[in-house]
Amino acid sequence: MTQLPVYTDQTLKDLTPYFYQLGTQLGYAQFAAPHLDGLLRYPGIQGMRTYVPRDIPLRFQPSAMADIDRWVRRHGSSLLFVNGENDIAVAEPFRPGSGTSDSYFFNVPDANHHISIAGLRPNDADQATAALRRWAGRQGPAVRQRHWFWPTGSVV
């Protein structure tokens, strides 16, 4: 049995903010396929305008992600990044810097974009969950820390 993903107008409407950010800040992979000219039933269907209504302006801001990266390195606090090793969306992941505090950066081996805390190794999942609970005030007051954790869970 073949599974075919189906996207309804309502599904796409709910995803508009995600695709807007792809088109204006993150960048959206577009592939040229001249060898398929004349063969595609719906050429251009993967273009950004398929997902973002025409009345919403799309102007790519190339400096947006660099600005966020600088903020993470200089001022980031209470951040949790869970990245899949095989996820092309994190080909250039955020990394801690001298100003980053109380933050966690995990890389999950052999994982893709659909990874979560539940997919982390048990020790890493425990650290991530404990940090989230602490930040939410579920385990007493948050304690400012000047360290971060790499995928092994070792303190740097």
Please report, as a single letter, which amino acid is at residue 139. Answer: Q
Tokens for 136, please give them: 């939410």
Question: Which residues fall within 8 angstroms of residue 151, CB to CB, at 6 or more apart?
Answer: 105, 106, 107, 108, 124
DSSP-derived secondary structure letter, 19: H
Residue type, 53: P
DSSP-derived 3-state class of residue 68: helix
Q: Rounded CA gap, 26 and 19, in Å?
A: 9
pLDDT of the chain, 156 residues: tens digit per residue: 556 666 677 877 888 998 899 999 988 877 788 999 999 888 888 888 888 999 999 999 999 999 999 999 999 999 999 999 888 777 788 889 999 999 999 989 898 888 889 889 999 999 999 999 999 998 644 444 444 444 444 443
Please state whether the predicted TM-score (pTM) of the whole model is above 0.85.
no
Q: What are the strands of the beta sheet with 103-108, ordered from one edge?
A: 80-84, 103-108, 148-149
Which residues face 148 on adjacent strands?
103
